[in-house]
Amino acid sequence: MRTDRVTYSAFSGWVDAPTDLRPALDGDATCRVAVIGGGINGMSTALRLAERGQDVVLLESEFCGHGSSSRNAGQLAGAPGGDLQLLNLLARKKMPGMMRLAEHAARHVEEFIATHDIDCEYEATGNAFAAVSRGQMGRVRRVARIVTRAGGHVEVGTAAELGIPRGFVGGMREVVGGRMNPGRFSLGMRQVLLDSAARVFEGTKVSDIVREGGQVVVTTPRGRVRADHVVLATNAFAGEWDITPKHLSVPLYVVEVETEPIAPERIAALGWTSGMGLVTQHAIMENYRLTPRNTIVFGVRRLERGMGHPLPEKVPDRALVEELAGAFALRFPSLADVAIDRAWGGWIAITSSWLPVAGRIGDNVHFSIACNGHGLAQAPYVGTLIADAIVDGHRHEDLQTLWHDEPRFPRPVMMGRVGLRTIWAIDRFNDRVNGSRRRARKFG
Ligand SMILES: Cc1cc2nc3c(=O)[nH]c(=O)nc-3n(C[C@H](O)[C@H](O)[C@H](O)COP(=O)(O)OP(=O)(O)OC[C@H]3O[C@@H](n4cnc5c(N)ncnc54)[C@H](O)[C@@H]3O)c2cc1C
């Protein structure tokens, strides 16, 4: 695969940054609720609050949609993220709640797109846990049993039965969900927010949040906001302030790349008739999806730990882009001559439980974070539920599933640079073993 003319972007490959930024906060303001962070999580919270007649201010350091919300792979998942076998082992009782939350979240986003007529190329294809080996297929079957027992809706089949490319052994289709252009989705949500009654300040980085006389005071470079409630929705960027719970999450940088346009007949020859997005069953997944521009967007495979704050603006590492290209050529041998056109990346937040987390610090500082790489569906849904909880004074059962009354979290394990490198090495070892087995079957 050719990687000699890749455009490396510090934002997203899906859309350009907006040019109509809202002015930064200049002076002091008061409101009932201040939302910090204008990703799909914070925007959904602010929108719901505005719809419900609350006086809400949203503060975003760059522009709404600047974070991972516009940069992700656009796979709207209908199942929880993380290692479902491990989650089932450690938190079996939580599985039905997590499954329900995941499916409700995907439906919520589908409804949002339809209600606001957001032109984000959404197609309800579902997504597949795709197996690259017989070993991974065994894992897919075990995961499917766990998901079904927890009330989720999935179908298991061979590549031909599911309509996924022939280079994969088979997989498990999440019936709910699909694929979209996440940049258009985020900027579409931004427009709905800007048209609402919410007061939105872009280019406004929050530097501190403190409690004062029963209220919360939020400090920005040119003004302070005094609010009855604050919602922290900064995802991977949480942890910049003393008020954020310790060990809430770990920031990780992940990368997506996009091929050049591919001739439609070559795509048709792959047997990818369902058009579903795919995630492999490695400990650190690879993802692959088609786009309406006849390209394939794919990525992840390696996680890079962010250290300290603020997190840097980054472009992907060339060596990782080459590694992703190598993996693509293995999964899609007939397209091994195709070039990569674009590469970009973003910061995600991972919790120690690999589950999304929401909670409250004291009475009036709320947080929700870390949909662990599955936030395209879950972040907007959880944001909406937090808004409802602030207005109604009680929590929906889906929010209760994630809720932490005591904001104390264990130190995440295996999330240091050495731990992540070890997980990556185990994946590569398994790939080599599976490759040798495949060759032995072919020639033996
Ligand atoms: C490359 C990549 C691929 C992914 N693929 C998928 C996928 O296919 N499916 C899926 O479900 N999920 C995927 N994800 C995860 C998903 O994108 C996230 O879970 C989701 O976007 C989180 O939304 P958010 O609003 O919480 O965070 P963000 O979109 O990161 O928003 C946080 C916002 O807070 C702002 N901010 C930070 N600090 C401050 C401050 N001090 N003051 C004011 N504002 C601040 C930031 O500028 C940012 O706009 C992927 C993520 C990445 C990076």
Q: Looking at the domain assignment, is residue 247 inside a domain?
A: yes
Check if 386 has its Cβ closer than 6 Å to any atom of ligand 1. no
Q: Looking at the domain assignment, is residue 190 inside a domain?
A: yes
Question: Which of 69, 298, 309 is the pocket-test mutation for ligand 1 (most atoms within 8 Å of CB)?
Answer: 69
Question: From atom 21 of ligand 1, which residue's Cα is the shortest distance away?
Answer: 69
**Lowest mean pLDDT: which of 38-42, 72-76, 240-244, 324-328?**
240-244
pLDDT at residue 443, rounded to an integer: 64
Block residue for tokens 């589908």: 110
CA of 145 to the centre of ligand 1 (A): 31
Residues contacting 367, CB < 8 A, separation 6+? 231, 232, 233, 238, 244, 245, 248, 357, 358, 359, 360, 361, 407
Q: Which atom of ligand 1 approaches the CA of 372 most closely?
A: 19
Which of 405, 44, 423, 362 lies closest to 196, judged by CA? 44
Check if 244 has its Cβ closer than 6 Å to any atom of ligand 1. no
- Residue 224: which pLDDT band, with cuts at 50, 70 and 90? very high
Question: From atom 22 of ligand 1, which residue's Cα is the shortest distance away?
Answer: 375
Please report the DSSP string for 258-277 in residue order.
EEPP--HHHHHTTT-TT--E
Task: For residue 383, give its domain range.
Answer: 7-419
Q: What are phi and psi of 345, to 5 degrees?
A: -155, 175
Tokens of 414: 């295996």
- Residue 354: which pLDDT band, with cuts at 50, 70 and 90? confident
CA of 219 to the centre of ligand 1 (A): 22
What Å distances lie between residue 124 and 164, 177, 252, 377, 406, CA to CA?
15, 6, 28, 13, 38
296-300 vs 286-290, strand pairing mode: antiparallel
CA of 83 to the centre of ligand 1 (A): 20
Average pLDDT of 414-429?
89
Average pLDDT of 246-255?
91
Q: Is the pLDDT of residue 206 over 90?
A: yes
Q: Looking at the domain assignment, is residue 429 inside a domain?
A: no
29-36 vs 56-59, strand pairing mode: parallel
Question: Which of 68, 176, 231 is the pocket-test mutation for ligand 1 (most atoms within 8 Å of CB)?
Answer: 68
pLDDT at residue 13, rounded to an integer: 97
- CATH number where 253 lies: 3.50.50.60
Q: Is the pLDDT of residue 192 over 80?
A: yes
Q: Which atom of ligand 1 approaches the CA of 206 most closely?
A: 42
CA of 161 to the centre of ligand 1 (A): 34
Average pLDDT of 205-209?
96
**pLDDT tens-digit series, residues 90-135:** 889 999 999 999 999 999 999 999 999 999 999 999 999 999 999 9
pLDDT at residue 87, rounded to an integer: 87
Check if 254 has its Cβ closer than 6 Å to any atom of ligand 1. yes
Question: From atom 53 of ligand 1, which residue's Cα is the shortest distance away?
Answer: 346
- Residue 307: which pLDDT band, with cuts at 50, 70 and 90? confident
**pLDDT tens-digit series, residues 263-301:** 999 999 999 999 999 999 999 999 999 999 999 999 999
- Residue 36: which pLDDT band, with cuts at 50, 70 and 90? very high
What Å distances lie between residue 291 and 44, 173, 190, CA to CA?
25, 19, 22
Block residue for tokens 């004291």: 362
Residues 185 and 182: their CA atoms lie apart, in Å, by 5
Residues contacting 196, CB < 8 A, separation 6+? 46, 47, 50, 51
Please report the DSSP string for 71-139 in residue order.
TS--EE-SS--S-HHHHHHH-GGGHHHHHHHHHHHHHHHHHHHHHTT--S--B---EEEEESSHHHHHH
- Residue 439: which pLDDT band, with cuts at 50, 70 and 90? confident
Q: Which atom of ligand 1 approaches the CA of 348 most closely?
A: 53
Mean pLDDT of the residues in the chain = 94
Q: Looking at the domain assignment, is residue 430 inside a domain?
A: no
Q: Long-range pairs for 153-159 at CB < 8 Å and ≥24 separation? A: 153/78, 153/103, 154/79, 159/271
Check if 343 has its Cβ closer than 6 Å to any atom of ligand 1. no
What is the distance, to the nearest Å, from the Cα of residue 267 to the centroid of all Cα atoms in its chain? 26
Residues 395 and 358: their CA atoms lie apart, in Å, by 11
Q: Looking at the domain assignment, is residue 210 inside a domain?
A: yes
Q: Looking at the domain assignment, is residue 433 inside a domain?
A: no
Q: Looking at the domain assignment, is residue 78 inside a domain?
A: yes
Block residue for tokens 């808004």: 387
Residues 113 and 262: their CA atoms lie apart, in Å, by 28
pLDDT at residue 309, rounded to an integer: 82
Q: Is the pLDDT of residue 367 over 80?
A: yes
Query: Exposure string (b/e) for 36-57, b if CB count within 10 Å is 16 or more?
Result: bbbbbbbbbbbbbbbeeebbbb
Residues 11 and 205: their CA atoms lie apart, in Å, by 18
Residues 399 and 48: their CA atoms lie apart, in Å, by 15
Question: Which of 225, 376, 386, 402 is the pocket-test mutation for ligand 1 (most atoms within 8 Å of CB)?
Answer: 376
Q: Looking at the domain assignment, is residue 441 inside a domain?
A: no
Average pLDDT of 383-410?
93
**pLDDT tens-digit series, residues 54-104:** 999 999 999 999 999 999 999 999 998 888 998 898 889 999 999 999 999
Question: From atom 25 of ligand 1, which residue's Cα is the shortest distance away?
Answer: 39
Question: From atom 12 of ligand 1, which residue's Cα is the shortest distance away?
Answer: 374
Q: Which atom of ligand 1 approaches the CA of 277 most closely?
A: 8
Q: Is the pLDDT of residue 10 over 70?
A: yes
DSSP 18: P
**Which residues does residue 297 pair with via DSSP β-bridges, in sequence order?**
258, 289
- 10 Å Cβ neighbour count for 389? 18
Tell me the three-class secondary structure of 300-342, residue by residue. Answer: ECCCEECCCCCCCCCCCCHHHHHHHHHHHHHHCHHHCCCEEEE
Question: Which of 176, 205, 234 is the pocket-test mutation for ligand 1 (most atoms within 8 Å of CB)?
Answer: 234
pLDDT at residue 434, rounded to an integer: 83
Q: Is the pLDDT of residue 444 over 70?
A: no
Check if 118 has its Cβ closer than 6 Å to any atom of ligand 1. no
178-179 vs 304-305, strand pairing mode: unpaired
Percent of residues, the chain, with pLDDT higher than 90: 81
Q: How many domains does the chain have?
A: 1
Cβ–Cβ < 8 Å for 167, 332: yes
Helix (H, G, I), strand (E, B) or coil at 67: coil
CA of 67 to the centre of ligand 1 (A): 4
Residues 436 and 222: their CA atoms lie apart, in Å, by 61
Q: Which atom of ligand 1 approaches the CA of 66 most closely?
A: 49
Check if 61 has its Cβ closer than 6 Å to any atom of ligand 1. yes
Block residue for tokens 């907007």: 380
Q: Is the pLDDT of residue 413 over 80?
A: no
Check if 344 has its Cβ closer than 6 Å to any atom of ligand 1. no
